Structures are given as structure tokens and as C-alpha cells.
Structure 1
Amino acid sequence: MTDFDQTYLGKLLKHMGNEDFILPAARAVILNQQQEVLLIQRSDNQRWGLPAGSIEIGESILDCVIREVQEETGLTVLSATPYALYTESRFSFINAFGRKHHTFSLSFLITDWSGELVKQTDETLDAKFFKTTELPELVFHYDEVIQDALSFDGQFILK
């Protein structure tokens, strides 16, 4: 994992002062054959969420979600279906660095991957599959993101 100060977001925040910002990001709703969703417990706030993160310079949004899943779960994404884009102001949040982040996040549904699940990484304390009826309290607006993935019928969702 790259030191945060060397990432695009780290460099951007260093020059922005206290301004709010918009940063493209990707997130993954990973479902197993039992239709359970994979969640990670974040190391920065100890809360549960989806594998996700911001795009780096020179990276496609698909490359971003593949990288984030690998970094946070150890899994290799074999295919990813974009199903929703979240940009409404109600999806804005305060990030782990105390900065307001206006969301521009593309969500991917992932049902095809390989590898062994890694429960602890530099960014996570735990990772496991949950029944969608028994989810822990989640960060941000991930309950809605998961429900959108579960109800995805091929019609791209814009919010």
C-alpha cells in the first residue's frame, strides 16, 4: 500500500486548504453464491463498510475498483458490473480526515472473483460475508447502495 501522502487524494488535500472537494471513487458490492454481501471493518474508524476508494492518476474507474478490492480483501475481481452512480448531495459525507467529500461514486456489483479472503490488511481490521438481513451498522449510505445492488435489474441507477 502506498503512503497516503503520496496518493492523488493525499497530494490534492495538501494543496486545497479546507475546501470541500469532489473526487471520483469506486465501490464494490461483492455477493457470494448465498447472496451474502462482503463487508470490511475499516481500520480508520472501526466501522463496517464496502470495499471502496478514490481513483488514482492514470487509473480507470474499473482499475480503481479492482485495486481497492485487492487492497482491502485480497480478492481478485474477475468481472464487475457497474450498476449505479451516486452524486446527489445527500450522499456527501465527512471522510476519515475530517473533510467534506461530495460523492461521485460508481458502484460495481461483483459476483465473480478468485483468491482467498484476507481479513486484515493495512486498511482493514476484518472482512466477512453477512446475510443482507443481518448487516451491522454501516458507514455512510452503504445500506442504500447494497439494496440498490440487490434490486438491480439491468437498468442503470442514477442518484
Structure 2
Amino acid sequence: MDYIQTMRRLIGNELLMTVGCGIIIEQDGHILLQHRKDRDVWGIPGGVMEPGETFLETAKRETFEETGLMVGDLTLFGLYSGAEGFAEYQNGDQVFSVQLVFHTVQFSGRLLQDAEESHAHHFFSKHDLPALNVHQARFIDDWVNGSARPIIK
């Protein structure tokens, strides 16, 4: 059982603070996004840190689990906090997440299309983005706008 499931058994739907790590994977000026199964939106691969993991371990593990890709040469893209980190899910679970976002152009492996948490993965240009996960839109907007890095919000 993972950390989030264990905590949910103890606190139910009450607010839980988490650390999330994601990666902007870029290829030829395009960003890799995943179409989530839990919501009809697109976002970057990533997920919640497990106790004992480093930021990089979390980002790499979550990216591999969700995309089938192994990533390397990660650089810090941004640190995100604030009201945008609050979410309430359809089941009533509340979470406030601080996000560390990395960037890379180095990856290998076979890109999964239908994975446990996503319907599909696709590289999008900055000018043709789909409906974005509202909790990740600011990361992606910062990428689109070429904001100076690392970003701290």
C-alpha cells in the first residue's frame, strides 16, 4: 500500500499535503502531455513523492510508470506553491500539493499509449495545446512563454 492510501485510511477525505514531482519532456520544441483517465484533461507526467525518495527519484519513477520512458539530464524548471496547489477530487479527497517541475530533452524507451492513469500520450506544439489540467496549466504556460528558470512561485 502506498503512502497516500495509508494516509487516506487514517484521515479520510481531510486535507493532505503532498510533494509532487513532474517533468516537462521536450522534443523539437514540442511538449509531451498525457491524457488523464481520471479527468478529461492533458498534463505533464509526474506524481506524488513517497517517503524516502528524492525529488529526482520521484520524477523519474512516476514518468516511467506513466509513459514507459526513462529520462535523463533533468534540470530544475520550477518550484510551484500557492492556492493553485489545492484540489478536491470527485470522491471528496482534498489535497494541497507543492510541485517541483523538471525539464529534459533526453529520454529513451517505448512511449505507452494506454497506461494505468492515462489514455494516450502525445507531443504538442506551443501553439496547439489541448485542454489542460488546471493544476498544471501554470507549468505549461511558463514553458510556452519561455520563462526564465528556475521559476519559483
Q: Say yes or no: TM over 0.5.
A: yes
| Alignment partners' CA distance in 2, 1:70 and 1:96 | 26
Q: For structure 1, which runs of at least 5 residues remain unmatched after alignment?
A: 1-5
User: Which secondary structure does the structure 1 equivalent of 2:112 belong to?
Assistant: coil
Aligned counterpart in structure 1 of residue 60 of structure 2, from 48, 61, 66: 66
Name the structure 2 match of 1:146: 140
How far does residue 149 in structure 1 lie from its aligned partner after superposition? Answer: 3.0
Over 3 Å counting, the alpha-carbon distance change for 1:97 and 1:74 in structure 2 is farther
- 1:99-118 equivalences under 5 Å are 99-118=93-112
Structure showing the higher strand proportion among its residues: 2
The answer to whether the 8 A contact 2:12-2:93 is kept is: no
Match of 1:49 among 27, 43, 49: 43
Within-5 A mapping of 1:2-151: 6-33=1-28, 35-95=29-89, 97-150=91-144, 151=146
- Aligned-partner residue type, residue 12 of structure 1: M
% identity of equivalent residues: 30
CA 90–45 in structure 1, closer or farther in 2 if over 3 Å, else same? closer
Deviations 1:68-92 (A, max 9, x none): 1101111101121112111112332
Structure 2: 5+ residue stretches without partners: none
Give the superposition deviation at 1:110.
1.6
Offset of residue 61 of structure 1: 1.1
Do the aligned partners of residues 57 and 143 (structure 1) sit closer, same or farther apart at CA in structure 2, a change above 3 Å counting? Answer: same
In structure 1, distance between residues paired with 2:69 and 2:116: 15
CA RMSD of aligned residues (A): 1.6
118-127 vs 43-52, which moves further: 43-52
Give the secondary-structure state (helix, strand or coil) at the position aligned to 1:130: strand
Give the conservation status (yes or no) of the 8 Å contact 2:17–2:96. yes
Instruction: Count residues with an aligned counterpart.
Output: 152
| Distance in 1, Cα, partners of 2:91 & 2:21 | 18
**In 1, distance between residues paired with 2:97 and 2:129?**
23
Give the direction of change, closer, same or farther, for the CA distance of 1:113–1:158 in structure 2 (3 Å limit). Answer: same
Calculate the TM-score normalised by the size of structure 1. 0.87
TM-score (norm 2): 0.90
